[in-house]
A and B are shown apart, each in its own frame.
Chain A
């Protein structure tokens, strides 16, 4: 298991020092696939570099299993960590062939004939594994972007690292290839039992690939949970809107009702049962978060005017404003099928039967600094 405890790092910069990491705690289960999700500049790449040993952190500890990699007194050099990396655009060594790139971590020049044969055998295996058999003699620049990434992965896997770090390796690829390659990579890493840490700003990528997602913001991990947990129970409003489309409505906490597990809040869409309690807002105002797929159009619902619609093929999103004159709060509804109402018409909207909202809070600290 890869563990980070209280990892902090500040860069000296003008006009003011930049805090890249602030007391980051993170556990990456052995053999698991963890995604670090955050907008650019949130510190996720710095975190990766600290784990790989390229950068030192100011405070905190990084351990892998029972080995301390980074702490106040130790800084294990990158070559002894057993952590591979697949950089953003592959970073294949331009002066070496594909085979030499993959074999780079398998010993230097002083090789006997036998180990040399073993090495070329291993290179062959790895290239097969990543779907590029027989590409040993090719030059990196002859390969497409996706192929370069495959080679970079094979190169990282060659010395059998315990952990592979993936630094936005799919972001430069086109959409279809991206989806295909990333699922292939996930399956490959899973079958090898290699622990993987993926850094990404793409929430869809993080949610669909990983079995554990850590959301970072301004140098902190604000939430670490399963993909479902992050999506359904976001820690605060920013996380809610970052990991998916969120509808945020002001609400009042209703008097304690019949269901103690799922208390109710009163908002523009009526009385909504919420999960996870109402937090500190016991007596007053709060915000309730819903996802577009939790709403449906129904004649009996709250009246709303259709502002615009988007058709995606598999579903559609209708943007509404509550009220007959369309002056109320904005709301999005995701519809299955293709019966999309026309723009300008008035429809009824309600919360689907049996769904639960969630009371969310502002991140107050962030508000103060923003």
Chain B
């Protein structure tokens, strides 16, 4: 409950902090600009989420259920874009186009934004779907086959419905990301509610207008939460029976396997090749330049700061998330649902609004933490708590209450049972959650720009600073981008291994 209250503070701020004067709200809402912004935001979120769902499920099926060559390698490669922050990815695309085709406007606007962001976001659906596919009991699909359905129909009627939780969970993350994305869209020159809000706060100094727009955004994300609830239905992840699922039979691709392999290669070129080559190119140019006046100490400092924030937040968010996820999985009721959902609301607000709320609150009541690292970490926790909760729920779903019962009948008290049975079984999920939080903190830009204590600078804010020049010089940005990718790649790799690890034994 406490956790939920913390998560809801920004919303309370929005509603009560005098920002709501009705005439202003109405004026802002009826302006044609707002209409365009709303349409843009919705189109982007819809486009990216659908593209990611299609890509994520297709790739997951390809590596789990087919006899594609080099599956183990591809399984990992497909997940790697997770390590490239979306605004870094967009930055590399912009830089690449700037270099190769300076006049092209292809990547600017809706189609470009959808393509580039989908390439960065699809692992959020791909990874949980891979995990879910591997956890499924192939006997169900076999039963469907024996009832006279074809392999494809059996997949759609039996397997796909069971991937719903994974797809909906990942999809929600993607859609909400799109609602809150700032950096990438600013670079791709696509205007949404969030970019407009940031602009009103930073450039136009119109916090009132920013608040009204955030209210619209908050309503949108609330609608999204309700929608997700409808799609997902009741969580029923707990597997009954102590048996461990067998490996499913693989679909033979036959000759088309080479086609699929080619398509996979093409996708990887776009999602990984472009950002990496742009970064590599930038680095090479920087090193070859005779007047190399690059401040390496600054880079190292920024790296350390980022890592510290990421670790601290991952720890705090994981601990805060455990009661929420446990409540949601074990005692699915109205209270649990409200608590869980309330954490999502703050997440879907742009970081800038959460930041403003925190600044306001700390100045008023908690002055000692104003402009300290703790405040930034609290802000991160509010933003990324739902990510930890989502992953942990999957973990606790695997820790069937049946195991608790058995443990207690063996004379182990409930607290000890939690530490000896529930927690170890849920640990993969908790670890995934912690890593996802770290990744997100590492990438976070907007809130860090506003809340970071004076003197500290994360990789993301340092990178962002290089975009502010008149001429696009990616060489100066490349080390930060590379360091950012390196720092997010480590937890991404851990997470990928965690999700993809599967006992070789049958």
Indicate if the CB atoms of B405 and A52 lie closer than 8 Å: yes
Expressed in whole angstroms, the minimum distance between the Cβ of A151 and any Cβ of chain B is 10
Indicate if the CB atoms of B411 and A79 lie closer than 8 Å: yes
Indicate if the CB atoms of B412 and A105 lie closer than 8 Å: yes
B503 within 8 A of A: yes
Expressed in whole angstroms, the minimum distance between the Cβ of A57 and any Cβ of chain B is 16
Contacts between chains A and B (CB distance < 8 A), count: 92
Which B residue sits closest to A165, measured CB to CB? B409
Assess A79 versus B406: contact at CB under 8 Å? Given A108-B420, A141-B505.
no
Measured between alpha carbons, how far is A292 from B321 in the docked complex, in Å? 64
Expressed in whole angstroms, the minimum distance between the Cβ of B248 and any Cβ of chain A is 15
Measured between alpha carbons, how far is A77 from B503 in the docked complex, in Å? 35
Which B residue sits closest to A100, measured CB to CB? B420
Assess A95 versus B424: contact at CB under 8 Å? Given A79-B414, A141-B503.
yes
- Which residues on the B side are within 8 Å of A90 (C-beta)? 242
A283 within 8 A of B: no
Which A residue sits closest to B401, measured CB to CB? A54
Assess A87 versus B412: contact at CB under 8 Å? Given A95-B424, A141-B506.
no
Measured between alpha carbons, how far is A155 from B409 in the docked complex, in Å? 10
Within the complex, which residue of A78, A142, A148, A159 is in contact with B242, where a contact is CB–CB below 8 Å? A148
Which B residue sits closest to A141, measured CB to CB? B244
Which B residue sits closest to A90, measured CB to CB? B242
A interface residues, how many (CB within 8 angstroms):
38
A63 within 8 A of B: no
Expressed in whole angstroms, the minimum distance between the Cβ of B403 and any Cβ of chain A is 6
Within the complex, which residue of B243, B411, B424, B505 is in contact with A139, where a contact is CB–CB below 8 Å? B505
Residue of B411, B414, B505, B506 ringed by the most chain A CB atoms within 10 A: B411
Q: Which B residues, 409 to 433, have Cβ-Cβ distances below 8 Å to chain A?
A: 409-414, 416-417, 420-421, 424-425
A43 within 8 A of B: no
Assess A91 versus B411: contact at CB under 8 Å? Given A54-B405, A85-B406, A141-B505.
no
- Which residues on the A side are within 8 Å of B407 (C-beta)? 93, 104-105
Measured between alpha carbons, how far is A195 from B243 in the docked complex, in Å? 27
Measured between alpha carbons, how far is A129 from B244 in the docked complex, in Å? 25
Expressed in whole angstroms, the minimum distance between the Cβ of A54 and any Cβ of chain B is 5
Residue of B400, B407, B409, B506 ringed by the most chain A CB atoms within 10 A: B409
A81 within 8 A of B: yes
B interface residues, how many (CB within 8 angstroms):
27
- Which residues on the B side are within 8 Å of A159 (C-beta)? 410-411
Q: Mark A83-100, 1 if CB is under 8 A from B, else 0.
A: 111011111111100000
- Which residues on the B side are within 8 Å of A84 (C-beta)? 409-410
- Which residues on the A side are within 8 Å of B420 (C-beta)? 104, 108
- Which residues on the B side are within 8 Å of A52 (C-beta)? 405, 409
Within the complex, which residue of B242, B409, B417, B505 is in contact with A94, where a contact is CB–CB below 8 Å? B242
Measured between alpha carbons, how far is A139 from B412 in the docked complex, in Å? 22
B140 within 8 A of A: no
Indicate if the CB atoms of B421 and A140 lie closer than 8 Å: no
B402 within 8 A of A: yes
- Which residues on the A side are within 8 Å of B469 (C-beta)? none
Please list the residues of chain B having a beta carbon within 8 angstroms of any beta carbon in chain A. Answer: 240-244, 400, 402-403, 405-414, 416-417, 420-421, 424-425, 503, 505-506
What are 18 A-B pairs at a CB distance below 8 A? A49-B405, A52-B405, A82-B411, A87-B242, A87-B406, A91-B241, A91-B242, A91-B406, A92-B242, A94-B244, A95-B425, A105-B407, A105-B410, A108-B416, A141-B244, A155-B410, A156-B410, A161-B409
8 nearest A-B residue pairs (beta carbon): A105-B410, A141-B244, A78-B408, A91-B242, A89-B241, A90-B242, A79-B408, A85-B409
Known: A78-B405, A95-B425. 17 other contacts (CB 8 A): A53-B409, A79-B411, A79-B417, A84-B409, A87-B242, A89-B241, A91-B402, A93-B406, A93-B407, A94-B425, A108-B412, A108-B420, A141-B506, A148-B243, A155-B410, A156-B409, A161-B409
Please list the residues of chain A having a beta carbon within 8 angstroms of any beta carbon in chain B. Answer: 49, 52-54, 77-85, 87-95, 104-105, 108, 139-142, 145, 148, 152, 155-156, 158-159, 161, 165
